[in-house]
Amino acid sequence: MKSYTITVNGNVYDVTVEEGTGAVSAPAAAPKVAPKAAPKAAATPAPAAAGTGAVKITAPMPGKIVAVKANAGAAVKKGQVILVLEAMKMENDVVAPQDGTIASIDVATGASVEAGSVLATMN
């Protein structure tokens, strides 16, 4: 038998290892890996080419759209609430980054979005 002292994350362990008898045991079969599932298609609707604006308004975090406060074609001022995004049981206002006109709203109430997803566009 051999004794070792091993330190793991600042904790010291004394370990005793018994030497084998010389008999070779069959190696254990390697576990089989399940094949990876194909990635799901994006559930967010693609914006129409004609209604896409130059400025993209994206989701700052993953969450669920609980309210749409502005419609396509509406004139908005910088800081005006366009959408309300619920994340971690808190409602977060998604605001216009500048003065302009909403070109498209690319999500609907109840839609789940990922961080960085385009929620709306404006000119």
Report pLDDT for 49. 43
Residue 89 lies in a domain: yes
Residue 85 lies in a domain: yes
User: Is the separation of the CB atoms in 104 and 51 below 8 Å?
Assistant: yes
Each residue's pLDDT expressed in tens, for the chain with a length of 123 residues: 788 888 888 888 888 887 766 655 555 555 555 555 555 444 444 444 445 788 999 999 999 999 999 999 999 999 999 999 999 999 999 999 999 999 999 999 999 999 999 999 999
What tokens does 14 get?
């004394």
What tokens does 114 get?
């990922």
Report pLDDT for 7. 84
Report pLDDT for 99. 94
User: Is the separation of the CB atoms in 106 and 121 below 8 Å?
Assistant: yes
Report pLDDT for 46. 45
Residue 17 lies in a domain: no
Query: What is the Cα–Cα distance from 121 to 104, expressed in whole angstroms?
Result: 5
Q: Which residue has the tokens 């362990």?
A: 13
Domain count, the chain: 1
CATH code, domain with 78: 2.40.50.100
Residue 26 lies in a domain: no
* Confidence (pTM): 0.56
Residue type, 111: A
